[in-house]
Chain A
Amino acid sequence: MNEGNFSFELVAAAHELKAPLSLMRQLALLLEDDSLTLRERQLYAERLRLTSERGLRLTSDLTSAHRAASSLFPLEPINPLYFCKDIADEYRPLCMARGAQIRVARVRTAPAIIANRDLLRRVLVNFIDNALKYNESIKILQLHIGQSKKSVVRIGVREYGGEKMPKRQSNLLPAADSTAASSGLGLFLAGEFARNMQAKIGSRAHRQGGSTYYIDVPISKQLMLL
C-alpha cells in the first residue's frame, strides 16, 4: 500500500471494521438477556467469537499490507494441496456457522508453488470471508487447484449454491489495484498481497450460479520434497 493512499485506506478500513464491531455489540447485548436458552446463548457466543475473528483478520491484513510496501516477504516452495487442506480444516467451523461446507477438490497432481505462506493464506482466507459475507445462499465452498499455464498454478475458491457475483465485487477484480470500495476491502488487500508474491488474483462468474475467486501463483522450479 503506498503512502499516498494510506489515509484513504484508513477511512475505508474504519468503515469496513464498523460492520463486525456493530454486530459484535448487538450480539453482546443479546447475550445480556436472561431469558435466552442455553442453546441460544451458545449460538450467540459462537457468532460473537467468529465475528471478532473476522474483524481481527482485517486489522491484521491491513498492517501486513502497510508493511508490504517497505519490506520483502520471503518466498518458499509450498505444496498447494496440503496448504489448502490446512485452510479448509481451519475454516470449517466458520463455514458451518454460516451454513456452508468447505472442502478441497480432488486433484491428481499439484505442483509446488513459490509463495509466501502467510500472504497466500491471507489471500485465500479473504476469498472465503468474502464469499461467506456476501452470499448467504452458499452451500459449498470448494478449494481447487489446477495448472492454468505452464508456469502458474491456479488456486481457487469456488462457491456452489450461491448467487452470481455482486457487481461491486467484480469491479474490484482482477484489477484489484483500482480503488478500495466501501466493501470488498478484503479483496483489495488480497490483490496487494498477491502482487508481493508475483501472483495475481481474479474471478469468474459461473453461468449456473456462484463464482470462483482465484489466485495464480508461480510454480516452484525446485523439486518438490514436501
Chain B
Amino acid sequence: MNKSFAAAIIIEDDPWMREVLEVAVRRCGLKAVGVASGEDAIYAIDDTAPKIILADVLLLHTTIFTLLNELQSHQDLAQLPVILCSGISERLPDDVCRRYGIVEVLDKATMTPNGIMAAIKRHLHAEVIA
C-alpha cells in the first residue's frame, strides 16, 4: 500500500473545528479530506477510499447516523473505523455506536490534538500510518 494515498475523511460543519481535526490527521501522516456534510462525505469516500472517518454527530441537515447507516449497507465500507468527535458524547450509548462502526467517541470539550492522534493510531493498521 502506498502510504501517501492513505486518507482520512473529516466530517464537521464548523470549518474552524474541522481544520483543528485536519491538523491532527495530517500529523498522523494521513491525507486529510474535510467535508461539511454527510452528502459531501459520500462523494469524498468514493474519491479517496479513506482508511478512517472522523465525524461530528450533529451536522447541518441531519446527523452522522444517516451516513453511517448508509455505510453499513456497503460490504466494503461497513468495517471502516469511525471516530466521533462530539459535544454530546455522553448521550451516545455503546451498543448504538458498535452497530454503526463507531470505534471511539471523543468529547469535544476534553479532547486534545495528541488525544485525537492517539485515537487515530489506535484504530488504523500500522502500515497505514506514515
Among the 9-residue stretches A17-25, A76-84, A141-149, the one with 4 or more Cβ atoms under 8 Å from chain B is A17-25
A168: which B residues are within 8 A, CB to CB? 61
Question: Quick check: is B36 within 8 A (CB to CB) of the other chain?
Answer: yes
- Per the bound structure, the CA–CA distance linking A19 and B58 in Å amounts to 11
Does B17 touch A at the CB level, under 8 Å? Answer: yes
Contact A22 B36 (CB under 8 A): no
Which residues from chain A contact B36 at a C-beta distance below 8 Å?
136
Q: In the complex, A19→B12 CA distance in Å?
A: 12
Interface residues of B in 1-45 (CB under 8 A from A): 13-17, 20, 23, 36
Instruction: Enumerate chain A residues within 8 angstroms of B58, measured Cβ to Cβ.
Output: 182-183
- Taking a contact as CB atoms under 8 Å apart, the answer to whether A30 and B23 are in contact is yes
Complex Cα spacing A111 to B90, Å? 51
Contacts of B60 in A (CB 8 A): 134, 163, 166
Q: Does B15 lie within 8 Å of A136, measured CB to CB?
A: yes
Cα A168 to Cα B62 with chains together (Å): 9
**A to B CB contacts below 8 Å, 5 in the list:** A23-B20, A27-B20, A98-B15, A134-B13, A183-B58
Bound CA span A136–B109, Å: 23
In whole Å, how far is B106's beta carbon from the nearest beta carbon of chain A?
11
Given A136-B15, A166-B61; 16 other pairs, CB 8 A cutoff: A18-B87, A19-B14, A19-B108, A22-B109, A23-B14, A23-B16, A26-B20, A26-B108, A26-B113, A29-B113, A30-B23, A51-B16, A163-B60, A168-B61, A182-B58, A183-B58
Chain A residues touching B, majority SS: helix
- Spell out A's residues near B (CB within 8 Å): 15, 18-19, 21-23, 25-27, 29-30, 33, 47, 51, 98, 133-134, 136, 163, 166-168, 182-183
B69 within 8 A of A: no
Q: Determine which residue in B15, B20, B61 has the highest number of CB atoms from chain A within 10 A of its CB, and name it.
A: B20
Residues in B with CB closer than 8 Å to A47 are: 16
Q: Does B79 contact A (CB under 8 A)?
A: no
Residue numbers in B under 8 Å from A25 (CB-CB): 109
Shortest Cβ distance from B68 into chain A, in angstroms? 19
B17 close to A22 (CB less than 8 A): yes
Residues in chain B near residue A33, CB distance under 8 A: 113
Tell me how far the C-beta of B43 lies from the nearest C-beta in chain A, rounded to whole angstroms. Answer: 15
